[in-house]
Structure 1
Amino acid sequence: MVDLVTTHASGGYILDELHVGMAAEKVIPVTEQRIQLFAEASDDFNPVHLDEAFASKTAYRGRIAHGLLSASFGSAVVGTILPGAGSIYVSQTLQFHYPVRIGDTVLIRITVLSVDPETARVELNCEGFVEDRLIMDGIAVVRVPRRRRPGKG
């Protein structure tokens, strides 16, 4: 059973609050600006992402978004919703199934697969969809805080 959650009031879930089946989603539009900013941030100026004349002659028949741009949307969910603030990526596998284009809207779904109380790590299923088509998926291992930091005041 999937238990769709939103951002925790504190900004992040701690280890004891997580359980198998918890899930979070975020919808993110893929825009020209996002692709340009990602190219700048990653130093990846592959013309298949940036040059329509070049990209139109490839198997993709036009520009596509960076695969890791779409994957970074998963990081947005992990870092801000589930588990949220304080969680740290340990590892991530990825498989890309279909290209993402400017104008597409990506739905990211993160679902808790397992919780390890000894290591304070959770295993997360990470999926990205455009409309109902699975465009990427993988498994993340994330370290999660055991307790909240005391409030300032």
Structure 2
Amino acid sequence: MVEPHPSGGYILDELVVGMTAEKRVTVSEERIGHFAEASDDFNPLHMDEAFASKTAYRGRIAHGLLSASFGSAVVGTILPGAGAIYLGQTLNFYKPVRIGEVAAARVTVATIDEAAARVVLRCEIYVGGELVMDGEATVRVPRRRRAPKTP
């Protein structure tokens, strides 16, 4: 597992296929509420226990894109980190994530296209060691760091 780069982000030449980073996030009532506010998605499956208890899920579940956003947090803050620009993302959902569960978002460098400064990242979300979501993100990565501004 890699840690965030001291500069805040890895540049293209520092990336190697197989590099992996992970972030663990507890799915809380508060996070679901904030995500609903930010996305304007107030589906009762996420917000209303009485409604959700009558569905196939037998209770409230987190928004799928809330769980996916934990992978985005890894991409933006750890691997590659600051300066990475999302170009595309695929997602596959296998199981719901529930309030109180800890989601482990794991991102692994799958391929590197040096000519285009693009990287494909394998993104996975686990709960209790079980895969609940996966996909691939394509991101543009900086080739070099900007020199710090001098006063």
TM-score class, shorter: over 0.9
User: Does 2:144 match 1:147?
Assistant: yes
Deviations 1:83-135 (A, max 9, x none): 00000000000000000000000001100001111000000000000011100
Match of 2:7 in 1: 10
Match of 1:77 in 2: 74
Match of 1:94 in 2: 91
CA-atom RMSD in angstroms: 0.5
Q: What is the rounded CA distance, in whole Å, between the counterparts of 1:142 and 1:23 in structure 2?
A: 15
Which sections of structure 2, spanning at least 5 residues, go unmatched?
none
User: Does 2:30 match 1:33?
Assistant: yes
Q: What is the rounded CA distance, in whole Å, between the counterparts of 2:111 and 2:45 in structure 1?
A: 37
Q: What is the rounded CA distance, in whole Å, between the counterparts of 2:143 and 2:129 in structure 1?
A: 36
User: Does 2:54 match 1:57?
Assistant: yes
* Aligned partner of 1:122 among 119, 122, 130: 119
Q: What is the rounded CA distance, in whole Å, between the counterparts of 2:73 and 2:149 in structure 1?
A: 25
Match of 2:100 in 1: 103
Q: What is the rounded CA distance, in whole Å, between the counterparts of 1:126 and 1:114 in structure 2?
A: 13
**Cα distance, 1:152 vs structure 2:** 2.2
Q: What is the rounded CA distance, in whole Å, between the counterparts of 1:121 and 1:80 in structure 2?
A: 17
Number of equivalenced pairs: 150
Identity of aligned residues (%): 69
Q: Which runs of 4+ in 1 moved over 4 A?
A: none
Q: What is the rounded CA distance, in whole Å, between the counterparts of 1:137 and 1:119 in structure 2?
A: 24
Q: What is the rounded CA distance, in whole Å, between the counterparts of 2:100 and 2:123 in structure 1?
A: 22
- TM-score, structure 1 length as denominator? 0.97
**Cα distance, 1:15 vs structure 2:** 0.3
* Aligned partner of 2:129 among 125, 128, 132: 132
